[in-house]
Structure 1
Amino acid sequence: MTENKIYQYWMHNLPGIGDRTIEKLLKAYGSAKAVYFAEEDSLKKVFREDKIRKIKEFSRGWNPQKRYQELLRKGIAFYCLEDAAYPERLRRLSHPPYALYCMGSLPEEDSPCVAVIGARECSEYGRYVAQAFAGEMASAGISIVSGMARGIDGIGQKAALESGGATYAVLGSGVDIIYPLSNQRLYYEILDKGGGIISVFPPGTEPKKQHFPERNRIVAGLSDALLVVEARIKSGTWITVDMALEQGKNVYAVPGRLTDRLSDGCNLLIRQGAGIALSPKDMMAEFTILANRKGEKGKGAKGKEKKSETSYYNGLLSFLDFYPVSIDEILEKMKKAGEDIEITELLSKLVDLCMEGGAKQVGGTYFVKIADNCGG
């Protein structure tokens, strides 16, 4: 632990001081420690007198070394721009956050990351799709980043953990504040299974509406690409999309029915040029392309060898009919036939089958057979 780290933590907790002001202070004094010991007269070149009084009052009740030790005892790591461990993805932003707090781990620099986001009040179709995409991507080695919100965000993160993959939650509160409380179990599972809880806000910070745009910016910043599963046209999801586009990230959207208001946002994104995500393989291809551009073989999603896709699809067709059958009915038929498969994996296989031309998806989670075989 460097001595300056203690004062960096103090500086980041100064009331009413943002990243831009911290940048000015460091330019003027060279280090956080120098700012801490600066005389009031010296501080006048940066602050007004009333601000200086507030800073000095705050500092009298703040023991930097004691406070930093308390932070570590809570299992919270503190990273700032000067640290080698600070995420390179965020360092590349036009205005990187000065500091991050983290419980657990940060995303690995050489591991592909995708943000899976969408509506809080999602439909069953959205739930199935989020589970299928996040689950298969996570099992292929792609880390899932999201905001641990209700709906699509949390569903995608749960699916990633169930698939044995990694997921990272960026909060609009301190990392020690579980929000929403309904995702308390998910919060602890992320930590138990090697993921991370991340925030730019100091511990103890309550979730506030004005915090979430910055939370969304960090979600986009930590990701290599962004996937929107369901979204209304006017929603918080669009803030994250705009930020991802500003950062030069590719945005993908899952298409939905024209009559479904929860699909309006995704359909509009596609109309405006977003990538169409019809299966998890579309997202995996994105990371293979990114890896090839960087000349990094093996850094894309981990490909999984499969015995015979054609044989598998032909077998799956036997559980469909020429009238719409729900995914629950298909799952029940398969289990009766001795086929052990999770619903998220089944949905992914059915979507693949549709792409192969053997079936068609109708009415959200209903599928109809349109050929006796496919892929042959």
Structure 2
Amino acid sequence: MISERITLIALHEMESVGWTTINRLQQGLSSLMEMWNLSKKELLFLGLGPKQADAIIQQRSMELIENKLRIYEQAAIQIVTILDDSYPELLRTIAQPPKVLYAAGELSLLQLPFIGIVGTRTPTVYGKKVADDLAYELASLGFGVVSGLARGIDTVAHRGALRADQGMTVAVLGNAIGDVYPPENTGFYRDITARGLVISEYPMGTKQHPGMFPQRNRIIAGLSLGIVVIEAAERSGSLITADLALEASRDVFAVPGPITSPKSKGCHELIKQGAKLVCTTQDIAEEYQHLPILASNRRNLEQSCSDTDQKLTDEERKIVELLMGEPKTFDRLLELSHYNFGLLHSVLLSLLMKKRIASLPGSTYISF
């Protein structure tokens, strides 16, 4: 049965018909459903180009859209339009909200308060640890964690969120729904659809091109209360997401790194420009004290963090502090700690087993 919603989906599925064309139809017609009976001349009068007018006339078939809807249903892919109550309210407020979203997984997650986590595709051990910990702790507090399923920080953030008992994550694809990029995330894609949600604004079969990924970033920013940037170089794509977040009046957070690391230069620049510096999850959560979902979860997380700190000895805590933020060699730690060789070796081994530090090449260590 023809409806405004079905008409919007039909237009979105048409080749050569994009959001600009749909906007012109919405502005020029009292109802999108009028589209089914318009002549080419009438479509041109509304401001459409000849290519778009021809595309609509050639592809406007209820049989065609019904066949496509069956394909999505068989693939367990749900469709959410901007006309639906289930469309996330925060996303409606951005400059160019997607008209249609394709979703695989638990659709109700779109109503969660989200924090976006983005960063480099080639993170350091430090970056991976920070992303995993922040995502896990944010998810434990009741936030949904949203990212882009790309290599590096994105993937680590999704995994960190799913580590939490009730952790939820949403992956926003920069390619067609049903396709997986990068391909090595195919198994993880299935994990997210089982426990979280994967969304895309691109219909099945859409050919991938580079411009789709920057477009995806506006959805990550639009869904989020705030964006956390972890390890971004000076010209990182993650900075585009941060800019989009600012344009949408979202909070921007940045995790500092070693001043000598090129991967942290973008983060340091964001901090100079006013982004909130993040050292702990509390630095993010304190901006959202008003959210009811945080109250009980915050107490549980604080107790968990307190228990973790209590497991460290005084000697271990001193080494963790010495290694915070910048790696140091074994010899440098001997010099700074004044421990003897045997004690330092024992402490480092214990911290490695507790996963509070990481070993880097050349007998070098870093803590998180």
Q: After TM superposition, is the score higher than 0.5?
A: yes
Once the two structures are TM-superposed, the CA of residue 17 in structure 1 deviates from its matched residue by 2.2
- Deviations along 1:62-110, one digit per CA (max 9) or x if unpaired, are 7122222222221111122211111101112233221111111346465
Q: CA deviation at 1:301?
A: 7.8
1:127 paired residue number: 128
Deviation, 1:123, is 0.6
Question: C-alpha distance in 1, partners of 2:306/2:88?
Answer: 42
Higher helix share: 2
Gap change, CA 1:299 and 1:257, over 3 Å in 2: closer
1:316 matches 2:323: no
Give the alignment's TM-score, normalised by structure 1.
0.81
Is 1:281 matched with 2:299? Answer: no
CA contact 2:142–2:293 (8 Å) conserved in 1: no
Q: Map Cα deviations across residues 117-137 of structure 1 (whole Å, 9 max, x no partner).
A: 100011111011111111111
**What is residue 183 of structure 1 aligned with on the other side?**
185
Of residues 90-99 and 228-237 in structure 1, the stretch that sits farther from structure 2 once superposed is 90-99
SS of alignment partner, residue 304 of structure 1: helix
The equivalent of 1:10 in structure 2 is 10
What residue identity is the alignment partner of 1:191? T
Q: Distance in 2 between matches of 1:220 and 1:331?
A: 40
In 1, Cα distance between the equivalents of 2:306 and 2:4? 61
Deviation track 1:217-254 (CA, whole Å, cap 9, x = no partner) reads 00000000110111101111111010001111111111
Please give the secondary structure, in 2, of the residue aligned with 1:286. Answer: helix
Deviations along 1:150-174, whole A, 9 cap, x unmatched? Answer: 0001101111112230000001111
Q: Which amino acid aligns with 2:19?
A: D
Partner Cα distance (1:329, 1:217) in 2: 48
The answer for the alignment partner of 2:174 in structure 1 is 172
Unaligned runs of 5+ in 1: 348-362, 368-376
Residue-by-residue CA offset, 1:330-375 (whole Å, 9 max, x unaligned): 6852698xxxx6x4xx57xxxxxxxxxxxxxxx87248xxxxxxxx
Does 2:29 correspond to 1:29? yes
Q: Following the alignment from structure 2 to structure 1, what is the Cα–Cα distance between the partners of residues 83 and 317?
A: 61
* Partners of 1:97 and 1:242 in 2: CA distance: 18
- Specify the alignment match of 1:41 in structure 2: 41
Q: Which amino acid counterpart does residue 242 of structure 1 have in structure 2?
A: D
CA offsets per residue over residues 163-205 of structure 1, 9 Å max, x none?
A: 2300000011111110111211221111111x11111111222
- Over 3 Å counting, the alpha-carbon distance change for 1:45 and 1:118 in structure 2 is same
Question: Residues of 1 paired with 2:307 and 2:202: CA distance?
Answer: 52
Distance 1:14 1:311 in 2: 56
Confirm or deny: 8 A CA contact 1:284 1:300 kept in the other structure. no
> For residue 187 of structure 1, what is the amino acid of its counterpart?
Y
Alpha-carbon distance in structure 1 between the residues aligned to 2:228 and 2:304: 29
Distance 2:298 2:232 in 1: 30
Q: AA paired with 1:168?
A: V
Partner of 1:219: 220
Name the stretch that deviates more: 253-262 or 323-332. 323-332
Superposed, 1:127-166 pairs within 5 Å as 127-164=128-165, 165-166=167-168
Q: How far apart, CA to CA, are the structure 1 residues paired with 2:347 and 2:136? A: 19
Residues 364 and 270 of structure 1, relative CA distance in 2, 3 Å threshold: farther
Contact 2:16 2:55 in 1 (8 A): no
Q: 2:175, 2:206 within 8 Å by CA — same for their partners in 1?
A: yes
Alpha-carbon distance between aligned partners in 1 of 2:346 and 2:209, rounded to the nearest angstrom: 43
Equivalent pair of 2:256/2:277 in contact (CA under 8 Å): yes
CA contact (8 A) 1:319 1:330 kept: yes
* Residues 321/103 of structure 1: CA separation in 2 closer, same or farther (3 Å cut): closer
Note the alpha carbon deviations across 1:304-343, whole angstroms, 9 max, x for none. 345697786454134517555799986852698xxxx6x4
- Count residues with an aligned counterpart: 338
